[in-house]
């Protein structure tokens, strides 16, 4: 189904109601098991997963599992309505040697059976999915597979040496859904060969799959990668912070209007990773800046729908912390929309915005 977020706005008797991203995570607690580079066919040009996760590259998987088991051994069964998720992050889970993948799933099995975790997910590449491996995940009660799609654009995939085409990326998304698993899609705005238009098209294509979640990882330049060399040679230029905020703000709004949670807007802070960064759109509050931009874009669209001067904007209280951007930089843009602070009200229980 072609993606269109126009249909998600509701105009009723003189007001416009629109989603602003209330839905974020499906489990309250996430217990990550990091498997950096394990199962990967090589090191992608931009990837520094070891630094990103603060662990060593290609660790011994049995040592990682043993450490995770220690960490989780005192976990009690979940109470009513409680949700916990075990997440195998990093690497290419479905391309792990069969014995190693089975060891991971065997660790999950008692946790699921005893109700100590309620969900499980893994991450992998779209070109590493066979029917057998997807069935194995389903049988083992893994419920969600996150695909490191990065882009559906053949040019960007090729320049970034991902080793698969846009068609393969799309086929991977379909395979996960057809296997009866939930789908997560990770995109890499600013990757070599990508432009804001290409990325926004990637978001449109991702939303057509109605995934359970998206992640946006603005491309950064960590030391020790091929991208660092390209950057030094002048062959790669990262997106600026402004370009990133502007483009991801539009993308986040598209996801909000499609009711698809975006569970990451930047690489998580990690001292070793930040120390190794050469360049790229890094900012301690990048996620909040993008949310602020997305909220403005959503309000502008709602105003066009309303078709008159607004009387009041009611927002979920969660928007209060980010809506004016860095040190109130966006206040004037809100005023220019006719929505000064006196016309904005926050409602703790609201899950969507309403423009009157
Ligand atoms: S981007 Fe994904 S496939 Fe590439 S090296 Fe990193 S974890 Fe492996």
What is the pLDDT at residue 12?
A: 62
Q: What is the pLDDT along the chain (356 residues), one digit of tens a residue?
A: 555 555 456 666 789 999 998 666 666 789 999 999 999 999 999 998 877 776 677 789 999 999 999 999 899 999 999 999 999 999 999 999 999 999 999 999 999 999 999 999 999 999 999 889 999 999 999 999 999 999 999 999 999 999 999 999 999 999 999 999 999 999 999 999 999 999 999 999 999 999 999 999 999 999 999 999 999 999 999 999 999 999 999 999 999 999 999 999 999 888 888 999 999 999 999 999 999 999 999 999 999 999 999 999 999 999 999 999 989 999 999 999 999 999 999 998 888 999 99
Do 288 and 319 meet the contact criterion of CB atoms below 8 Å apart?
A: no
What is the pLDDT at residue 25?
A: 62
**Ligand 1 atom nearest residue 90's Cα:** 7
The rounded Å distance from CA 51 to ligand 1 centre is 13
Strand partners, 215: 186, 264
Q: Quote the tokens at residue 295.
A: 């909220």
Determine whether 289 is exposed, middle or buried from the number of CB atoms within 10 Å of its CB (0-12, 13-18, 19+): buried
- Specify the residue with its C-alpha closest to ligand 1, atom 3: 40
Do 287 and 4 meet the contact criterion of CB atoms below 8 Å apart?
A: no
| Closest of 68, 66, 67 to residue 86, by C-alpha | 68
The rounded Å distance from CA 47 to ligand 1 centre is 6
The rounded Å distance from CA 243 to ligand 1 centre is 25
316 three-state secondary structure: strand
Domains and CATH numbers, the chain: 6-20+295-355 (no CATH), 29-292 (3.20.20.70)
Do 94 and 122 meet the contact criterion of CB atoms below 8 Å apart?
A: yes
Do 36 and 91 meet the contact criterion of CB atoms below 8 Å apart?
A: yes
CA dihedral 102, 107, 111, 113 (to 10 degrees): 40
CA distances for 208 relative to 2, 115, 147, 190, angstroms: 6, 33, 15, 21
**Ligand 1 atom nearest residue 43's Cα:** 5
327 three-state secondary structure: helix
CA dihedral 245, 194, 166, 48 (to 10 degrees): -80
The rounded Å distance from CA 91 to ligand 1 centre is 6
- From 47, 219, 267, give the residue whose CB has the most ligand 1 atoms within 8 Å, as the site to mutate: 47
Residue 34 host element (H or E)? strand 29-34
Relative to beta strand 15-19, strand 352-355 is antiparallel
What is the pLDDT at residue 99?
A: 96
Contacts of 95-103 with C-beta under 8 Å, sequence gap 24+, read: 95/39, 95/40, 95/41, 95/124, 95/125, 95/128, 96/35, 96/38, 96/39, 96/61, 97/39, 100/38, 100/39, 100/61, 101/133, 101/136, 103/61, 103/62, 103/65
The rounded Å distance from CA 286 to ligand 1 centre is 23
**What is the value of pTM for the model shown?**
0.94
- From 91, 169, 226, give the residue whose CB has the most ligand 1 atoms within 8 Å, as the site to mutate: 91
- Specify the residue with its C-alpha closest to ligand 1, atom 6: 47
- Specify the residue with its C-alpha closest to ligand 1, atom 7: 91
Render the burial of 187-196: b for 16+ CB within 10 Å, e for the rest.
bbbbbbebbb
Determine whether 41 is exposed, middle or buried from the number of CB atoms within 10 Å of its CB (0-12, 13-18, 19+): exposed
Do 83 and 118 meet the contact criterion of CB atoms below 8 Å apart?
A: yes
What is the pLDDT at residue 9?
A: 64
**Ligand 1 atom nearest residue 39's Cα:** 8
CA quadruple 199, 291, 208, 165: dihedral positive or negative?
positive
Q: Quote the tokens at residue 250.
A: 């539009």
The rounded Å distance from CA 351 to ligand 1 centre is 35
10 Å Cβ neighbour count for 178?
A: 10
Ligand 1 pocket list (CB less than 6 A): 37, 40, 43-44, 47, 49, 90-92, 125, 148
- Specify the residue with its C-alpha closest to ligand 1, atom 2: 91
pLDDT digits (tens, 9 = 90+) for 63-85: 999 999 999 989 999 999 999 99
The rounded Å distance from CA 309 to ligand 1 centre is 49
Do 117 and 139 meet the contact criterion of CB atoms below 8 Å apart?
A: no
**Ligand 1 atom nearest residue 36's Cα:** 7
The rounded Å distance from CA 37 to ligand 1 centre is 6
| Closest of 235, 231, 356, 248 to residue 296, by C-alpha | 248
pLDDT digits (tens, 9 = 90+) for 253-299: 999 999 999 999 999 888 888 999 999 999 999 999 999 999 999 99
């Amino acid at each position: 189904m072609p993606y269109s977020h126009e249909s998600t706005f509701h105009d009723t008797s003189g007001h416009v109601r629109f989603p602003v991203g209330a839905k974020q995570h499906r489990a309250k607690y996430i217990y990550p098991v990091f498997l950096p580079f394990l199962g990967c066919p090589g090191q992608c040009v931009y990837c520094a997963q070891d630094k990103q996760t603060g662990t060593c590259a290609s660790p011994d998987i049995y040592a990682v599992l043993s450490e995770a088991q220690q960490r989780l051994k005192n976990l009690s069964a979940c109470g009513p309505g409680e949700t916990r998720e075990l997440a195998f992050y990093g690497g290419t889970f479905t391309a792990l040697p069969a014995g190693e993948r089975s060891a991971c799933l065997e660790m999950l099995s008692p946790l699921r059976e005893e109700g100590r975790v309620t969900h499980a997910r893994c991450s992998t590449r779209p070109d590493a999915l066979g029917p057998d491996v997807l069935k194995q995940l389903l049988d083992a009660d893994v419920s969600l597979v996150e695909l490191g799609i990065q882009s559906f654009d053949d040019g960007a995939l090729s320049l970034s040496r991902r080793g698969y085409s846009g068609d393969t990326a799309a086929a991977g998304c379909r395979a996960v859904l057809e296997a009866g698993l939930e789908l997560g899609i990770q995109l890499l705005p600013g990757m070599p060969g990508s432009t804001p238009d290409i990325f926004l098209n990637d978001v449109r294509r991702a939303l057509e799959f109605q995934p359970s979640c998206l992640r946006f990882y603005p491309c950064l330049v960590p030391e020790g990668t091929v991208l660092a060399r390209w950057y030094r040679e002048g062959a790669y230029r990262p997106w600026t912070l402004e370009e990133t905020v502007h483009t991801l703000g539009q993308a986040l709004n598209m996801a909000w209007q499609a009711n698809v949670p975006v569970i990451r807007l930047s690489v998580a802070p990690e001292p070793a990773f930040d120390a190794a960064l050469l360049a790229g759109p890094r900012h301690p509050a990048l996620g909040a800046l993008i949310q602020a931009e997305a909220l403005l874009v959503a309000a502008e669209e709602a105003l066009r729908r309303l078709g008159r001067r607004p009387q009041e904007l009611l927002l979920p209280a969660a928007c209060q912390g980010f809506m004016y951007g860095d040190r109130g930089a966006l206040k004037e843009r809100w005023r220019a929309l006719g929505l000064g602070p006196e016309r904005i009200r926050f409602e703790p229980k609201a899950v969507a915005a309403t423009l009157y």
